[in-house]
C-alpha cells in the first residue's frame, strides 16, 4: 500500500457517505439500529486515520433530509444514537484537538438535541488539528436553495446587483463556505451515487466507491481510499501534459 502520510497528495477535505448500516445489520439478522451503532466504530476509525494523515476537514453524511421518510421507530433510534454519540464522543474530540461543526437544518431536531449540538461545537471550538463536519438533516438541494435565498435577499435589500452573482458568490453562501471544497468523496455499501450530498461542492471531487458496508470500513479501508486518491491525477479541465508542465 502507498504510504500517504505527509504526502502532498493527501486530500485537504474528505467527504464520506456512510452507507450500508441497515444492510450490515440485516445480514446478521439484527435490527437496523444495530448497524448504526456498529457504524460508530467506523466513524472513530475514519477520524483517526484522517487526523493522522494530515486531512484538514472530514465531512460525514450522518442524516439526510430524506431520511425522515424512514420508519418512525428507526428515526427515533437514530436521534437517540446521535444524542448519545454527541455526549459520549465530544470530549474525545476535544482531547485530540479536533473541532466539531454540524451543518444542516437543525430546527426539525428536538430542543435537547439542538442544545447538545451547540454544546459540542462550543466545547471543541478551539480544535486546530482537524475539523470534523457532521451533515445532519442536510441535503445538497437545500444547501443551494438557502444560498440562493440569501443572495436574493441581498438583491432585494439593494446590497447586490443580479449581475454580480457568480459561482464564488454562491459558494460563499453554502453551509461549507469556510472550508476548502472536498477533494475526495467516499461512499461505502456498494452504491454509486452521491444521493443529494454536497451537490455543488463535489463538482471536481474524486469519487471512491467501496463494496464494504460502513460498519466494516475501518482503518485499513480508509487508508486504502487515501492511497487510491494519492495515485490519481487531478486535471480540473486541463490536459495531462499541462499538469506535468506545471509540476
* Residue numbers annotated as active site: 19, 67
Residues 175, 144: contact at Cβ < 8 Å? no
Burial class from Cβ neighbours inside 10 Å (0-12, 13-18, 19+) for residue 96 reads middle
**Beta-carbon-side half-sphere exposure of residue 104 (alpha carbons within 13 Å):** 27
**Beta-carbon-side half-sphere exposure of residue 66 (alpha carbons within 13 Å):** 7
Residues 2, 230: contact at Cβ < 8 Å? yes
DSSP, residue by residue, 174-240: STTTTSPPPSEEEE-TT----TTSSTTTTTT-EEEE-SS-GGG--HHHHHHHHHHHHT----TTS-H
Q: What are residue 132's phi and psi, to 5 degrees?
A: -100, 115
Amino acid at each position: 500500500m502507498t504510504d500517504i502520510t505527509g504526502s502532498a497528495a493527501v486530500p485537504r477535505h474528505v467527504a464520506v457517505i456512510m452507507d450500508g448500516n441497515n444492510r450490515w445489520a440485516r445480514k446478521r439478522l439484527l435490527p437496523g439500529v444495530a448497524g448504526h451503532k456498529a457504524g460508530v466504530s467506523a466513524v472513530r476509525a475514519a477520524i483517526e486515520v484522517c487526523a493522522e494523515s494530515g486531512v484538514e476537514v472530514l465531512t460525514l453524511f450522518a442524516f439526510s433530509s430524506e431520511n425522515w421518510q424512514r420508519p418512525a421507530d428507526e428515526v427515533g433510534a437514530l436521534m437517540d444514537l446521535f444524542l448519545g454519540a454527541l455526549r459520549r464522543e465530544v470530549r474525545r474530540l476535544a482531547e485530540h484537538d479536533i473541532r466539531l461543526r454540524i451543518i444542516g437544518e437543525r430546527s426539525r431536531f428536538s430542543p435537547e438535541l439542538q442544545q447538545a449540538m451547540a454544546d459540542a461545537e462550543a466545547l471543541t471550538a478551539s480544535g486546530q488539528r482537524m475539523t470534523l463536519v457532521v451533515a445532519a438533516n442536510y441535503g445538497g438541494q437545500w444547501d443551494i436553495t438557502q444560498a440562493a435565498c440569501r443572495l436574493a435577499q441581498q438583491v432585494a435589500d439593494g446590497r447586490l446587483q443580479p449581475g454580480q452573482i457568480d459561482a464564488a458568490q454562491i459558494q460563499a453562501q453554502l453551509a461549507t463556505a469556510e472550508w476548502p471544497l472536498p477533494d475526495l468523496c467516499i461512499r461505502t455499501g456498494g452504491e454509486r451515487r452521491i444521493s443529494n450530498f454536497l451537490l455543488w461542492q463535489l463538482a471536481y471531487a474524486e469519487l471512491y466507491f467501496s463494496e464494504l458496508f460502513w460498519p466494516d470500513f475501518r482503518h485499513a479501508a480508509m487508508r486504502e481510499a487515501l492511497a487510491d486518491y494519492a495515485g490519481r491525477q487531478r486535471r480540473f479541465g486541463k490536459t495531462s501534459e499541462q499538469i506535468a508542465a506545471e509540476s
